[in-house]
Structure 1
Amino acid sequence: MNADWWSIEVFDGRFPATSWFLGWREQLVEAALTHGATDWHLTESDWGLVLELFFPDEGHWLRWRALPLVRAALDAVPDPVDGLLVYRGRGGSSGAPVPRRPRPAPGSAAVTADEAAEEPLFRLGTAAV
């Protein structure tokens, strides 16, 4: 079995992406479930949203993606020119089966500070000429 997640990222545009999803949610999710999807997940962010769908194989995904309803919904996103990404995988197109997790900061916060070495002391006095 070649099951996989597929993601649809919708960015805010003339109106919020959440408004777009509220208008299409029932039709898109129902069509996905009746065309073989076994799970779905929505992630909202300050720039838009990501709709993730889990299909048993690529054929199910392609049949769902070709539905006139799905094509109409994707044509109606808030920014039809630059506001839509469709790709295989989850978590920012990583292709990983689960979303990426944050890593520790790569800067000074990620390492412990070593004890400072003793610095030599200099005595100030008269300079030899």
Structure 2
Amino acid sequence: MELSWWSIEVRDGEYPARQWRDAHSAALIESTVTHGARDWSWRSEDLGVVFEIGFVDADDLQRFRRLPAVVAALDAVASHSLYVYRGRGGSAGAAEPRRQGPLPVA
């Protein structure tokens, strides 16, 4: 069975990302387990935290993201510190590792 992996990455900002993880981890894990995920993991990175979720059905992510606990957790992050993408953390197609420091401005 092939899993469709998705990552929720929260970078450090005004507050450390680990504080966000500590506040929302239980609700995110419960929502993950009860709504179709087959695997999940938390990873700490130099610039924040990554919550990786493996679903059997790619449509499960859309249902998962609409859950009130998930919406509340994602709304608690500043938009410039939140990244939700397909694949496991760091594997979303970047050819080079992320650099530390400010993000380039478009």
Normalization by structure 1: what TM-score? 0.67
Aligned pair 1:81/2:99, yes or no? no
Give the structure 2 partner of residue 51 of structure 1: 51
Structure 1, gaps ≥5 residues long: 96-101, 103-129
Corresponding residue number in structure 2 for 1:19? 19
Unaligned runs of 5+ in 2: 98-106
Counterpart AA for 1:93: S
Over the residues paired in the alignment, what is the CA RMSD in angstroms?
A: 1.8
Runs of 4+ in 1 over 4 A off after TM superposition: none
The answer to whether the 8 Å contact 1:9/1:84 transfers is: yes
Cα separation, 1, equivalents of 2:37 and 2:67: 14
Percent identical: 51
Q: Which residue of 2 aligns with 1:29?
A: 29
Q: Is the 8 A contact 1:24 1:73 kept in 2?
A: yes
Higher helix share: 2
Give me the whole-angstrom Cα distance separating, in 2, the residues matched to 1:14 and 1:42: 21
Give 1:45 shift. Answer: 1.6
Q: Which amino acid aligns with 2:7?
A: S
1:54-65 to structure 2, matched below 5 A, reads 54-65=54-65
Q: Does 1:90 align with 2:91?
A: no
Deviation at 1:94, TM superposition (A): 3.2
Count of aligned residue pairs for this structure pair: 94
Q: Give the counterpart letter for 1:42 in structure 2.
A: W
Flag the structure with higher strand content.
Answer: 2
Structure 2 match to 1:6: 6
